[in-house]
Amino acid sequence: MARVTGIGGVFIKARGDAKALAAWYRDHLGLALEDFGGAVLNWQDDTAEDGGLTVWATADPDGTWFAPSTATFMINYRIDDMDGIIAQLTAAGIPILQGPQTHENGRFAWIMDPEGNKVELWEPKL
C-alpha cells in the first residue's frame, strides 16, 4: 500500500494580512522567509537526538490542549534555544502562556500568534 512518508509543508490561511502574519513569525520566531513568502526548514540542519522527526496527531474535540485558541490546529516549532527565544518573546511583549516545561523529549513552551493560533515551541534533546 502507498503511504505518507512525511510532512511536505504546513500552510496557514491568514484571517487578516498574510504578509504581516509571516513577518511576525520571521521577527519573533526567526523563520527565514524566502522570496515566495514562506520558509524552507531543512532537517539536515537539525542536530537533535531524534534526528529531525515530525510528529502527526489528532486531538479530542473536548480537550484543552489547544486552548485558549479556537483554531482546529496547532503547529509545533522546533527551536534551538528555549531560554533565548523566551527572552526574545518576553522582550517583544509576547506573553508566554505556559512553560518552559521539561519532558522526556525536551523542553516545551506555548504562545499565541497575532491571529489567536496557539503555537507550541519545542527544544528537542541534543
* CATH number of the domain that residue 70 is part of: 3.10.180.10
Please count the structural domains in the chain: 1
Tell me the C-alpha to C-alpha distance, in Å, between residue 22 and each of 12, 17, 26, 67: 9, 9, 6, 22
pLDDT, tens digit only, all 126 positions of the chain: 867 777 778 888 999 999 999 999 999 999 989 998 888 887 766 666 666 677 888 888 888 989 999 999 999 998 889 999 999 999 999 999 999 999 998 999 999 999 999 999 999 887
What's the confidence (pLDDT) of residue 54? 79
pLDDT at 120 (0 to 100): 94
Q: Which amino acid is at 98?
A: Q
Q: Is residue 37 part of a domain?
A: no
Structural domain contains residue 90: yes
Q: Compute the distance between CA of residue 54 and CA of residue 46 in angstroms, rounded to an integer.
A: 12
Residue 103 lies in a domain: yes
Residue 92 in domain: yes
In a domain, 30, yes or no: no
Range of the domain at 52: 43-124
Q: Which pLDDT belongs to residue 103?
A: 92
- Nine cell digits for residue 4: 505518507
Question: Does residue 1 sit within a domain?
Answer: no
Residues 118 and 97: beta-carbon distance below 8 Å? yes
- Within-domain flag for 5: no
Q: What is the DSSP letter of 105?
A: T
Query: Do the domain assignments include residue 6?
Result: no
